Structure 1
Amino acid sequence: MAVNFKDEVLVRVYVICAIIVVPVALLLSFRTLEIAVFKQEKYQKLGEAYVRDVTVQAERGNIYSQDGNLLATSVPYFSLRFDPFMASPEDYYDNIDSLAYLLSLHVDNSHTAGAWRDSLFNMRDSVNRSANHYYRLAESVSYRKLQDIKTFPLFNKGRMGGGLIVEKKESRKRPFGWLARRTVGRIGGEKVGLEEAFDKELSGKKGKARMFRIPNGGGWLPLEDLTVVEPTAGADVHSTINVNIQDIAENALYTAARRHLPDWGTAIVMDVETGAIRAMANLGRGDKTSNKYYENYNYAIAKATEPGSTFKLATMMALLEDDKVMLDDEIDIENGVKTFYDKKVTDSNKKSRNWNNISIRQAFEQSSNVAMAKLADSLYQGNEFSARLADFKLTEKTGLEITGEAEPFIADTSSEYWSGISRAWLAFGYESRITPLQMLNLFNTVANDGRMMKPYLVDEIRREGKSVQRFKPTVIQKQIASQTTIEQLRSLLEGVVDNGTAAKLKSDQYRFAGKTGTSQQNYGRRGRKQYQASFAGYFPAENPKYSVIVVIFNPSQGAYYGGEVAGPVFREIADNIYNSMIEVHEPLNQGPRPVLYAEQMPDGDLGHTDELATLLNFVNVDTDSTTETEMAVVRSADERVSLAAADPAAQAFPNVRGMRLRDAVYVLENAGYVVHPRGVGRVTSQQWQRDAAGRKGKDVTLILN
């Protein structure tokens, strides 16, 4: 029987494979089953000890000003670590000298190149010590410096080939420093301001990264893992703050703080038509013994105080809207002193001591406390006055986006504080607590013809340059009072500046309207009296663009009246905005075309007919006559221009007065004369040179001006 050697060999191969492969396969299956089932918990804990998923913070979005400047941004910085065992021994030792030199020069110059070289040798030593895969090289490295470090020998081979480990971190920066610091907010510690209010939008969406723990306490390193969830960068917040106006407000407020040394001060600038806040400045004193001021608290929205006489705008709005008074009515202010029950109301205006009967208009302009108190107390009953004030939204928050707005308070008959004098005291700014922003919103409403807008700080949210959410101006109440009432209130506020307590603040450049306010904050208590000085108003008076309030609390040096402490701050803010912002100025060509009189029209100009006609046509001046001569002279009358024929060349000695030099030279040289010009402009006179016989010669000097 013949033996088939080929089959015999195949059988032997199959047997050998079965003997080797099958046991190995069975062993692998068993180990897989053991790890996945029987010892799953053990190996899972072991894996968690060395590998874990961590949250990766997204890049935080920017906060911009209304005019496109960065108010807050995240600046990346980097921590550098080094694993000396990632490079091959040959690469490592070939590059160690040059790497040591560059590290001493650009990373840490407190170590010499020799010291760095010794350190790098010791890092690689795993004979005398356990291997360390996580050596610290540097902290807080900028992006630009990192790019240079990545070009160093060994490091230029990348993480896996050279061992450079880069950990990215972020630092929140404000390019304009302290500008609008409290409004923009912060994220370190307790979040405040826009950083807090729009934290969700700014934060973006967190990602995940898989990290590996380096033995011997070396820290955690990210693994190259395709299953990592990439973070989504935060959106950008575009605020309504205008950097220039904010800077103007802060500087004016700081000057006043240094002059009067108050406990705190605030200034707000609002766009009249929209309610957008263009500036919100806050300054607080470091401590009672310090004269340094910081923006450490948002007094504009968080401090509700008794406003004083700025509140008289609300009182007059109620009296006029309820037809209780007319501005020409008279009231006896009793020489500025009136007692209600056992409490005395006194006018701070010294002029009141000489007055009895004065008009309601004059009482407001001169800020008579007695007049307001008597009117409210005598013309309202029960809760009528307080209810009317509530109609003006003075008992409601403005709803500004950032947190911390204080609750306003207006005393009424349900209040535990209500007494027989409450209505009278409420009329001139006591028995109430109002924040500066809430008070400004009432003045802004009057400036806006009675339309109350919701104050707001953010225009838009953008992601990668595309708008994802817009915040349009919001109307709280279309008409807070009748148009007649609003017009009367505006005339009263203008009168305060023209004739009243703010007359010293009046400007020759533009007209503004407003109200002074002074209130004692700690009445009924012993100790040094504390006053609050304020001024609220808007400008320009005829067509308001911006409303402003300034509140300065407890000035301890110099004056304490609103017109003397807060008023100048308002004026400085308004002046600087008026001088630097073109939108405040009325367009020169606005309105109907003015009537042109003869003295305003071109007259006596002499030149080429076609060129004069072209020029007059270009400036939209129609001519009512034509001439066929080459030259013409302009003749003007009221609202009319004509061209009259002129032929200087036909004259024995051509008269070229009124011509431009080019035309004069053309006429004279064609007639054979030699021209000697002096000056620029038009020919105002011509001087003929004399010949030997004393007659006019061929040379003529033209005087131009």
Structure 2
Amino acid sequence: MSIKKSILIRVRVAFLLVCLFACAIVYKVVHIQFLQGDKWKSISKERRIFYKPVRATRGNILSDNESILATSLPFYRVAFDPTVAKAEVFNASVDSLALLLSRFYGDRSEDYYRRKMINARHSGRRYIRLNSRQINYQEKKRMAHWPIFRQGKNRGGVIFEKVEKRFKPFGLLAERTIGFINEDKNGAGLEYSFNGQLTGTDGEALFERIAGGSKPIYDGTEVKPQHGYDIKTTIDINLQDVAENALYKSLQKTDADYGTVILMEVKTGEIKAMANLGKTKGGYIEDYNYAVGSQGRTEPGSTFKLASMMALFEHHPEVNLTDTIDTGDGRYRIKNTTMTDAKINGYGKITVQQVFEKSSNIGVAKLMEQYFGNEQQVYVDYLNKFGLNSPLGFQMEGEARPYMKDPQDKNWYGTTLTSMAIGYELKLSPLQTLAFYNAVANNGVKIQPIIVKEIRQVDEVVQSFETRVLNEKICSEETLKKLKAMLEGVVEHGTARNIHSTDYKIAGKTGTARKVKNGRYVREYSTSFAGYFPADNPKYSCIVIIDNPRGVNVYGSDVAAPVFKELADKAYARDLAIHKPMRARVVPDKESLPLAKAGSFEDLKMIYNTLGISTHLGAADEDWVKVEPKRRSLEFKPNPVLRNKVPDVVGMTLRDALFILGNQHLNVDVQGAGKLVRRQSIAPGTDINEDKTITIILG
């Protein structure tokens, strides 16, 4: 066979195969289109229509007075179905709409938006997102009146896709306490701890897949979402603000690593403020909840001496505050270590009360050796009885578990008893220490702190949380009496006398604990102050921790105690219920009266009532009065100002005298110096002639 004939046969075979393949394609198209058309249309419709969840609105987080700490605000993305609007409406308004979009977003030209919408309409695209930027509700309302958009979704094609954002009206206030939760359901604070209540239940709606996305179909089958519950916290936003500001100033001043403050009501266990600030390159922010979490769990130092003294008084009630202990020259050898006191050359022989007031490590260590040296398990059993080895069961996730040694442990050494007694070789979170101090303030009743009081659905309370008693009586009344005297003594005479107040009593204890790095104690400190106020009728308990302050003064009294005092002052000033009533002042005679002895009835009445001076209102109908003493009170006597008669201004302030005399058209000559009118040159009641001058002498 010739080469030419062979090539021709091959071409014919190839052509035949191509024709057969083309016929097969045509057959298949006809078969699918006409014979199986209904089947594939049905499948297409089923896959184009689908159910999609509709997110529930997250609940609010409220303060104790129901101010909003965190809420969800609606934001929107603007999408558009350009095929919906009628041709005449679209063509007449697309230029105006493009101009408005360009001006509003400010990122693209008018021509860009016009071409985007026209091209999508010509190509039959039923969904385009005009801009990815989210707009707020007010902006959405304004957009809804724009050309084409004003026709609505069904006739104009505008689609406002709702997106909810978490918003905190008070900004960074209590940021870590409020917390957060991310898309992976990880988070912190109240947002994470109460996520189940805040989230609600998602609904469901029918959506249609279209080019570029999907859009909802409202056919009556949609299931409405059940919005999340609100949670009402115990946080007082004013006290929270004071706590954060006081803490921030101290951290900045000392260049510390972090700090935390907790303020709690003694009787209720309600936390009124919880501030946490950590150091970053940009300053201090709420980066972690040191008050509750494991990173804030540290060796408490001298604030733990309260627990040691409680154990001592419980096991040996015969020990009195006036008993003495010789602390020596400030150095005490225990096994292979040397314990020291803060004072060079030591405190010598001092009382048990002074051991606590001066925070003598040696004094506490010697007491523990003397009374628990052969009963070390008994000491630890007391700590366990006080609940210091157990978590509090706090409402927020991430509560640190206390670390407490036991004599049976392998790492219980010969120095462990004395180390634990002064707050080392154990770890507590600030909240656990505060709960213990609060029990002393609460007459021995140890309660569980709470930060969430109610869960609500609108105005209906779904669940409420009451204070739970953890220990009905943490110690005896006799022990409590001794402990309270020592805690007050710390502020009156001891390490915290720099925060002594003349307005109210403070009870508390300073703490300065050396920190451990790489298994060794270094010269870095965790400083603290824990206590309560007013000491004679406790309303609030509070703890302040300042970690690793830098500078000359790095003790708890210098760093943490002033923060406590600032917060206590503000809390005391705004809570009138805990103020002591002022005693009424007795007016024995004329000379002891306050300065003004005559003047406006309303002004004088306000002054004397404010001073707590008893008055008789016999001249209640008079505008101007004189004040006279009557037994143990004051009596207002009428001092009328008559027309065309010289008034009596003796005893009045210069301001009142000038006012009255000027209204009587008298020329006034003022002589002397002083605050009150002592004499006047024209007798009261004298007829007033034109251009008459009266001289008043001050004294």
Give 1:337 shift: 2.2
Matched, 1:264 2:258: yes
- The residue number in structure 2 matching 1:199 is 195
Instruction: Output aligned runs, 1:613-652, within 5 Å.
Output: 636=629, 638-639=631-632
Partner residue of 1:298 out of 289, 302, 316: 289
C-alpha distance in 1, partners of 2:151/2:596? 84
- The residue number in structure 2 matching 1:379 is 371
- The residue number in structure 2 matching 1:368 is 360
- CA 1:593–1:479 in structure 2 vs 1: closer, same or farther (change >3 Å)? farther
Partner residue of 1:435 out of 426, 429, 436: 429
Letter in 1 for 2:197: E
- The residue number in structure 2 matching 1:316 is 309
Give 1:42 shift: 7.8
Partner residue of 1:124 out of 121, 126, 150: 121
Q: Percent identity?
A: 38
Q: Any stretches of 5+ residues in structure 2 without a counterpart?
A: 1-35, 684-691
Matched, 1:151 2:145: yes
User: Is the CA contact 2:70–2:167 (under 8 Å) kept in the aligned structure 1?
Assistant: yes
Instruction: Output aligned runs, 1:100-115, within 5 Å.
Output: 100-106=98-104, 108-115=105-112
Instruction: Output aligned runs, 1:603-618, within 5 Å.
Output: none
C-alpha distance in 2, partners of 1:195/1:494? 39
Instruction: Output aligned runs, 1:87-486, within 5 Å.
Output: 87-106=85-104, 108-126=105-123, 131-139=124-132, 140-188=134-182, 189=184, 190-214=186-210, 216=211, 218-286=212-280, 290=281, 292-302=283-293, 303-322=296-315, 323-350=317-344, 353-380=345-372, 381-486=375-480
Give 1:366 shift: 0.6
Deviations 1:448-467 (A, max 9, x none): 23222221111222222333
Letter in 2 for 1:97: D
- CA 1:125–1:536 in structure 2 vs 1: closer, same or farther (change >3 Å)? same
Give 1:702 shift: 6.5
Letter in 1 for 2:454: E
User: Is the CA contact 1:675–1:701 (under 8 Å) kept in the aligned structure 2?
Assistant: no
Q: Secondary structure at the match of 1:420?
A: coil
TM-score w.r.t. length of structure 1: 0.79
Letter in 2 for 1:76: P
- The residue number in structure 2 matching 1:9 is none
Give 1:204 shift: 1.7
C-alpha distance in 2, partners of 1:416/1:65? 47
Give 1:239 shift: 1.3
Give 1:257 shift: 2.3
Give 1:431 shift: 2.4
Number of positions where the alignment pairs a residue of Structure 1 with one of Structure 2: 630
Give 1:363 shift: 0.7
Q: Secondary structure at the match of 1:81?
A: strand
Matched, 1:58 2:52: no
- CA 1:483–1:43 in structure 2 vs 1: closer, same or farther (change >3 Å)? farther
User: Is the CA contact 1:603–1:634 (under 8 Å) kept in the aligned structure 2?
Assistant: no
Matched, 1:569 2:567: no
Q: Secondary structure at the match of 1:433?
A: coil
Q: Secondary structure at the match of 1:409?
A: coil
Q: Secondary structure at the match of 1:202?
A: helix
Give 1:437 shift: 0.7
Give 1:578 shift: 4.1
Q: Any stretches of 5+ residues in structure 1 without a counterpart?
A: 1-37, 690-697
Letter in 2 for 1:56: V
C-alpha distance in 1, partners of 2:148/2:169? 36
C-alpha distance in 1, partners of 2:303/2:126? 69
Deviations 1:554-607 (A, max 9, x none): 33444432222222322333344445x244751535xx8676644667999799
Letter in 1 for 2:355: A
C-alpha distance in 2, partners of 1:295/1:676? 68
User: Is the CA contact 1:452–1:478 (under 8 Å) kept in the aligned structure 2?
Assistant: yes
C-alpha distance in 1, partners of 2:595/2:328? 66
C-alpha distance in 1, partners of 2:64/2:151? 45
Deviations 1:351-398 (A, max 9, x none): xx2433210001111111111111122212141111112222211212
User: Is the CA contact 1:272–1:546 (under 8 Å) kept in the aligned structure 2?
Assistant: yes
- The residue number in structure 2 matching 1:33 is none
Deviations 1:287-316 (A, max 9, x none): xxx473322111111132111100011111
C-alpha distance in 2, partners of 1:258/1:359? 38
- CA 1:521–1:47 in structure 2 vs 1: closer, same or farther (change >3 Å)? same
C-alpha distance in 1, partners of 2:275/2:693? 72
Letter in 1 for 2:544: V
Q: Secondary structure at the match of 2:221?
A: coil
Q: Secondary structure at the match of 1:397?
A: coil
Q: Secondary structure at the match of 1:410?
A: coil
Give 1:167 shift: 1.0
User: Is the CA contact 2:327–2:346 (under 8 Å) kept in the aligned structure 1?
Assistant: no
Letter in 2 for 1:410: M
User: Is the CA contact 2:54–2:225 (under 8 Å) kept in the aligned structure 1?
Assistant: yes
C-alpha distance in 2, partners of 1:604/1:73? 55
- CA 1:330–1:80 in structure 2 vs 1: closer, same or farther (change >3 Å)? same
User: Is the CA contact 2:513–2:525 (under 8 Å) kept in the aligned structure 1?
Assistant: yes
Give 1:207 shift: 0.8
Instruction: Output aligned runs, 1:664-703, within 5 Å.
Output: 684-688=678-682
Give 1:439 shift: 0.5
C-alpha distance in 2, partners of 1:491/1:443? 14
- CA 1:527–1:500 in structure 2 vs 1: closer, same or farther (change >3 Å)? closer
Q: Which moved more, 1:556-565 or 1:50-59?
A: 556-565
C-alpha distance in 1, partners of 2:377/2:238? 45
C-alpha distance in 1, partners of 2:457/2:353? 53
C-alpha distance in 1, partners of 2:431/2:352? 27
User: Is the CA contact 2:278–2:285 (under 8 Å) kept in the aligned structure 1?
Assistant: yes
Q: Which moved more, 1:504-513 or 1:440-449?
A: 504-513
- CA 1:44–1:258 in structure 2 vs 1: closer, same or farther (change >3 Å)? farther
Letter in 1 for 2:331: V
Partner residue of 1:498 out of 492, 495, 502: 492
- CA 1:507–1:159 in structure 2 vs 1: closer, same or farther (change >3 Å)? same
TM-score w.r.t. length of structure 2: 0.80
- CA 1:335–1:146 in structure 2 vs 1: closer, same or farther (change >3 Å)? same
Give 1:413 shift: 2.2
- CA 1:124–1:45 in structure 2 vs 1: closer, same or farther (change >3 Å)? closer
Deviations 1:199-235 (A, max 9, x none): 1221122111111111x4x212110121111112222
User: Is the CA contact 1:602–1:634 (under 8 Å) kept in the aligned structure 2?
Assistant: no
Letter in 2 for 1:80: V
